Amino acid sequence: MYAYVVKRLFLMIPTLFGAALLVFFLMRLLPGDPCEIRMAGTGQYADPEAIAICQKDLGLDKPRIVQFGGFIGGYFTGDLGVSMWTHQPIAYEIGLRFKLSLQLAIMTTMVAVALALPLGIISAVKQDTWIDYAVRTFSIAGIAIPSFWLGIMIILGLLIVTQAWLGEGWMPPINYVSPFKDPWGNFTQLIWPAVATGYRYSAVATRMTRSAMLEVLREDYIRTARAKGLVEKLIINRHALKNALLPVVTLIAIEFAFLIGGLVVTEQVFNLNGLGKLFVDAVGNQDFTLVQQLVMLVVLIFVATNLVVDVLYAWLDPRIRYA
């Protein structure tokens, strides 16, 4: 088991290195650089000297291989570098936004779970009835609706509905307030994006809950329980659910890991200053260093989650063996 974990940890290295190589050179394939955008982005006269100074400042005049060396070398010295746009340390830029993205990810997951578990269970219990079909239709629609569109529709809906009821249109706050300072303000801001994305994320979890429940409901011990004459509700709650939950929890954990980096479009629509927005801005500014580190963060989360899940499975299910 330990050998397996160690081996997997070692295998992460080529993956991370490959991702670093890919993001570094892909970003530099793009025409233009942060200095061009900074100096020429407004249609006014762009001073070539100012552009040259900026490029020198950012080390963009150095050979690519040296720049790449600096990027990789930073991981050994623990220095993630500074943003090419704001000159602030990247760790600081990311740290600022991490809280919001984390909180939104948690709330989104809560919404997703709150939808997925009851819907999945009822859908399995009432398999092939109209309830089942209705639930499945609802949850598949969740994957089908583009979340950016749903977000815009939610804001519009809120404005129109509140205008009709209160006489004055209300929309969620567009500035983040910490939940410890103003819990209600924080909630009214984040619940809408959480619903817009949570609905989408609930779809897969609902399906997983349903199929896991179906499988468990066919097991012998459930039949036995039924034969014993136990109340159906009890069977579902006590026996079936407990056993069906494992894969569902795993799935939710994986999705959660992705959420932190996966709220790109939602954060745009609701003007939330999280990692997704930072990423889009960084791409727009061609802030190479910041994009690199954000991509590496996403890749790291992906690889680490995969590892944890695999190890967890091995540990939980002795039938799975790893060489």
Partner 1 sequence: MATPQAVIDTSELDQLRIPLRTQLWRLVRKQPLGAAGAFIVIIMSLAAIFANVITSYNPVANDLASMLQSPEANHWMGTDEFGRDILTRVIYGARTALSIGLTAAFLGATGGLVLGVASAYFGGIFDLITQRIVDVLMAFPLIIMALAVVATLGPGAQNVIIAITIPFIPTCARVVRSSALAIREIPYVDAARALGFSHARIILRHMVPNVMAPYLIMLSTFVGQAILLEAVLSYLGMGVQDPTPAWGLMLKGGAEEFLESAPWVSIFPGLAISFAVFGFNLFGDAMRDVLDPKMRRD
Partner 2 sequence: MKRFISRIAATTAVSLVFGVTGIGSALAVEKGGILNFVVAGETPSYDAHRETTYAAVHPYAPFYSVLIRVNPKNPQSPTDIVCDLCKGKWKVADEGKTYTFKIRDDVKFHDGTPLTAKDIVATFNKIIFPPEGVPSARKTFFKMVESVSAPDDYTVVFKLKFPSGAFLPAVAAPYNYVYSKKDLDTHGYNWHTDHINGTGPFIFVQHQPGAFVEGKKNPNYHHKGQPYLDGFKAIIAKKMSVRIQAIRGNRAAIEFRGFPPKARDDLVAALGDKVTVQESDWNCVLIATPNHKRKPFDDARVRRALSLGMDRWGGSAYLSRIAIVKTVGGVVFPNHPLAANKQELQQLAGYWPDLEKSRAEAKKLLAEAGASNLTVDYNNRDVDQPYKVVSTWLIDQWTKIGVTTKQTVRPTPAFYATLRKSHEYDVSIDFNCQSIVNPIADVSKYLCGAGNNYSQCEDPKLGEMYDNLLRTGDVKGQRAIIRQYERRALDEQAHEIITLWWYKINPHRSYVKGWKIAPSHYLNQQLDNVWLDKKLM
- Residues within the interface to partner 1 (CB under 8 A): 11, 14-15, 18-19, 22-23, 26-27, 29-31, 133, 136-137, 140-141, 143-146, 148-149, 152-153, 156, 159-160, 207, 211, 215, 218, 261, 264-265, 279-280, 283, 291, 295, 298-299, 302-303
279 binds, among partner 1, partner 2, none (CB under 5 to 8 A by kind): partner 1
219 binds, among partner 2, partner 1, none (CB under 5 to 8 A by kind): none
Of the candidates 212, 9, 23, 175, the one whose C-alpha atom is nearest the C-alpha of residue 100 is 175
Nearest distance in Å: CB 269, partner 1: 9
- Report yes or no: 245 and 157 within 8 Å, Cβ to Cβ: no
Nearest distance in Å: CB 277, partner 2: 7
Tell me the C-alpha distance between 116 and 242, whole Å: 15
Indicate the angle between helix axes 90-125 and 183-217, nearest 10 degrees: 40
Nearest distance in Å: CB 10, partner 1: 11
- Report yes or no: 86 and 34 within 8 Å, Cβ to Cβ: no
- Report yes or no: 101 and 266 within 8 Å, Cβ to Cβ: no
Write each residue from 66 to 95 as x if it is in contact with partner 2 (CB under 8 A), else as -, in one continuous string. Answer: -------------------xxxx----x--
Q: Which is nearer to partner 2, 91 or 230 (CB)?
A: 91
| Cα separation values, 27 from 40, 282, 290, Å | 19, 11, 11
Nearest distance in Å: CB 200, partner 2: 20
Q: Which is nearer to partner 2, 255 or 267 (CB)?
A: 267
Tell me the C-alpha distance between 155 and 164, whole Å: 14
Write each residue from 250 to 279 as x if it is in contact with partner 2 (CB under 8 A), else as -, in one continuous string. Answer: ------------------xxxx-x---xx-
CA angle in degrees (0–180, nearest 5) for 151-155-161:
135
Q: Which is nearer to partner 2, 147 or 209 (CB)?
A: 147
113 binds partner 2 (CB under 8 A): no
Of the candidates 83, 80, 61, the one whose C-alpha atom is nearest the C-alpha of residue 72 is 80
Q: Which is nearer to partner 2, 89 or 247 (CB)?
A: 89
Helices (H) and strands (E) in the chain, counts: 14, 0
DSSP 102-153: HHHHHHHHHHHHHHHHHHHHHHHHTTTSHHHHHHHHHHHHHHHS-HHHHHHH
Write each residue from 175 to 194 as x if it is in contact with partner 2 (CB under 8 A), else as -, in one continuous string. Answer: xx------------------
Residue among 101, 285, 289, 292 that touches partner 2 (CB under 8 A): 285
173 binds partner 2 (CB under 8 A): yes
CA angle in degrees (0–180, nearest 5) for 55-268-293:
40
- Report yes or no: 135 and 122 within 8 Å, Cβ to Cβ: yes
54 binds, among partner 2, partner 1, none (CB under 5 to 8 A by kind): partner 2
6 binds partner 2 (CB under 8 A): no
Q: Which residue has the tokens 């900026």?
A: 54
Binding site for partner 2 (CB under 8 A): 30-34, 36-50, 53-54, 56-57, 85-88, 93, 96-97, 152, 155, 159, 163, 168-171, 173-176, 268-271, 273, 277-278, 281, 284-286
